Amino acid sequence: MSSAEPTEAGRGEQAGPAVREPGRAPRPAAPVPSPLPGLAESARLLADATTTSTALVADALARIEATQPTLNAFRHLRAVAALAEAAEADRRLAAGERLPLLGVPVAVKDDTDVAGLPTHFGCDGERPPVASDSEAVRRLRAAGAVVVGKTNSCELGQWPFTEGTAFGATRNPWNTAHTPGGSSGGSAAAVAAGLVPAALGSDGAGSVRIPAAWTHLVGIKPQRGRISVHPHSDPFQGLTVNGPLARTVADAALLLDAVAGAHPEDFHRPPAVRAADAARRDPGRLRIALAWRPPLTLTGAGPDPEVRRAVTALADTLARLGHHVEEARPRYGLIGLAFVPRATVGIAEFAARHPEPALLDPRTRAALRTGTRLGGRVVRAARAREVRQHRRIGALFDASGFDVLLTPTTAAPPPRIGRFDDLSAWRTDVAMAAACPYAWPWNVLGWPGVNVPAGFTRSGLPVGAQLLGPSRSEERLIALAAQLEDDRRWFEHRPPV
């Protein structure tokens, strides 16, 4: 069965598993169509009748099919259903209807419910198709988008790589010997390779920003509650949010606007922002703190020299653009003592729902045991510390007067595929903390951050930098990212076909 061949999946949806069947050799890759235009450009072309949704969706499906043997970005496709929805979008466009994303193909991560498809969240085993869309997908459809499929995630989103026995390894379009990162690695690989104009991911410890950094994309981790996580109420004890990945700031902002908003049952309901407007706005002259030292992880990790070189060059660009850039040290304290219980309890909550626990990775089962021990009073105490953490780390903005914090997104360039194979749970955690020590504190705080491309290593691997802000500061971060993009024009660089 090819990855794009449909099978019945309930509620009339057509879905095909995008992993090859065990024991079958992969087919030779088909010729790869040209990359799709970006999100805003696709919407413009459709509104101008320069192209059709059917053509864009068919091109996306063809490109996914052609690259699946090498990139392996998708877990499930909606080939028949997506083409039917594209035909309907073309009828609506011809009748004069206009919506922000009417007819534009997009993808969502494998942790996100799409009616008629199973939600495996990177796990092995069989799952029934879900009956209803998540709130984020409902909003995507309301904006007119066509969801072409679900992208690969590592098991329960735990790791900064997208590999697993359930689907194999998802590979980086810039160099297929390396990971695109995780856990939103499938979404990042799909966007970087031009399979879709943009995609949704989720970020519980950097899982949007890390793969964005390692695939040369813009990735937005919004304020907690900005994008609904319903049908979940507070996943991973409040650490996880949904967020967009795109090649440009404008595209990421457009997708953020399309999916932002609360479900009536959501806990967190921040006031609305206008991300697309912010992407067209001058940020003004800002005070930017540059921090090299990560929070305490007991690994002694610091940035790789090539990461430091790239982020230094980006800081120099910010200074040239008129901003005041100054090295500073945020007071992270022992924030890891709050992160670990929340993360492991979150893993335990998801793992406990798996119908066949024996199929879970041994490292997942170890996290389940740890999370079970740290539940109840321990995790409640960890969450109660968040207010004090806001005050302590927020002093960088309130008392010291900085507007934005700039750090590397990761300490290392993207690792090679298989780097984490056969490691114990403890050794995997140590290796992750050394490679990715910078992103996760902002998940504890619930505050927004934006990854921007910072450049490439000498061997051509992408690296990124984070623009981090206090509560509800997405518009400032997006405006600053757009100003950087105008200067550095990172969207002109694409990976090899």
Q: How far is CA 332 from CA 270, 327, 340, 422, 464, in A?
A: 24, 15, 15, 32, 21
Exposed/middle/buried for 255, CB within 10 Å: 0-12, 13-18, 19+? buried
- Is 207 labeled as catalytic in the residue annotation? yes
Does the active-site annotation cover 109?
yes
- Distance, CA of 125 to CA of 26 (rounded, Å): 21
Candidates 134, 153, 183, 187; catalytic one: 183
Backbone angles phi, psi at 48, to 5 degrees: -85, 0
Nearest residue to 16 (alpha-carbon basis) of 89, 68, 90, 70: 68
Tell me how crowded residue 58 is: count the other CB atoms within 10 A of its CB: 17
Instruction: Name the active-site residue from 109, 150, 221, 473.
Output: 109
Cis amide bond preceding 105, omega within 30: no
Catalytic status, residue 150: no
Active-site entry in 42, 207, 228, 473: 207
**Four-point Cα dihedral 382, 383, 385, 387, nearest 10:** 170
Residue 189 tokens, joined: 């690989």
Task: Give the catalytic positions in this structure.
Answer: 109, 183, 207
